[in-house]
């Protein structure tokens, strides 16, 4: 590859700066989110929620494969490997990304497909930012897209052998899928969703 003449990391950073988007403006522009009644809160637009639900059903039926992750992260399929951990994890190049549930990953892949279908600019958004946008959109589910339950934030202590820490989760109480998980006290794994 011709990248050998330049520094690929530096090139990627330049590329990222060129294309980085302001997520809220981008999502409003794509008619994916809108302010709700009191203007304080943002929600999915109805059309986006419908399309996302359709893609989610399709992804659930087809299952997730290397191709889906390669698209989301903008890498060749040879750079994607599923990892066998006790949680959902995939290695992209040399970074292991993890998800608090299979449902969270299904959601991200469906989001990638939906935004790809409605916005010509989505493919130009830096892949890492695409992942971060998908992650944050998980918390926009006023109703769980899998079962219609009402997901909520739950801040409960998790005890391990030697310490207790609090973990903030955004999960659906009905189907028990966890969509987001943050440690609120420990610095280690402070952002469990991306593990970087």
Q: How far is the CB of 139 from Zn ion (least distance, A)?
A: 14
Q: Please state, in angstroms and rounded to a whole number, the distance separating the CA atoms of residues 196 and 185.
A: 17
Binders of Zn ion among residues 14 to 73 (CB under 5 A) are none
Judged on CB neighbours under 10 Å (0-12, 13-18, 19+), 156 is exposed
Q: Does 147 bind Zn ion (CB under 5 A)?
A: yes
Q: Does 146 bind Zn ion (CB under 5 A)?
A: yes
Q: Does 144 bind Zn ion (CB under 5 A)?
A: yes
Where does 8-94 have alpha helices with state H?
Answer: 8-19, 23-29, 46-62, 66-73
Calculate the alpha carbon distances from 150 to 35, 60, 141, 143, 156 in Å: 19, 20, 8, 5, 18
Of the pair 70, 175, the CB lying nearest Zn ion is at: 175
Q: How far is the CB of 85 from Zn ion (least distance, A)?
A: 23
Q: Does 145 bind Zn ion (CB under 5 A)?
A: no
Binders of Zn ion among residues 170 to 189 (CB under 5 A) are 172, 174-175
Of positions 74, 132, 149, 185, contacts Zn ion by CB under 5 A: 149
Give the residue carrying structure tokens 């609120």. 184
Of the pair 64, 144, the CB lying nearest Zn ion is at: 144
Of the pair 131, 146, the CB lying nearest Zn ion is at: 146
Of the pair 80, 135, the CB lying nearest Zn ion is at: 135
Backbone angles phi, psi at 133, to 5 degrees: -65, -45
SS3 at position 76: coil
Write out the residues near Zn ion by the rule CB under 5 A.
144, 146-147, 149, 172, 174-175
């Amino acid at each position: 590859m011709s990248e050998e003449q330049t520094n690929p990391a530096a090139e990627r950073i330049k590329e990222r700066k060129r294309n980085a988007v302001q997520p809220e403006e981008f999502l409003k522009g794509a008619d994916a989110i809108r302010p709700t009644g009191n203007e304080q809160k943002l929600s999915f637009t109805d059309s986006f929620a419908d399309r996302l639900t359709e893609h989610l059903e399709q992804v659930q039926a087809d299952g997730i494969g290397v191709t889906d992750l390669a698209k989301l992260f903008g890498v060749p399929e040879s750079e994607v490997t599923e990892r066998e951990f006790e949680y959902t994890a995939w290695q992209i190049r040399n970074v292991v990304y993890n998800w608090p549930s299979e449902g969270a990953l299904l959601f991200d892949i469906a989001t990638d497909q939906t935004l790809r279908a409605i916005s010509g600019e989505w493919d130009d958004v830096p892949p890492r930012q695409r992942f971060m946008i998908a992650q944050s959109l998980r918390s926009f589910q006023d109703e769980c897209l899998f079962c219609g339950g009402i997901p909520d934030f739950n801040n409960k202590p998790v005890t391990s052998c030697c310490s207790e820490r609090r973990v903030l989760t955004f999960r659906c109480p009905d189907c028990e899928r966890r969509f987001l998980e943050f440690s609120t006290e420990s610095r280690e794994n402070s952002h469990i969703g991306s593990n970087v």
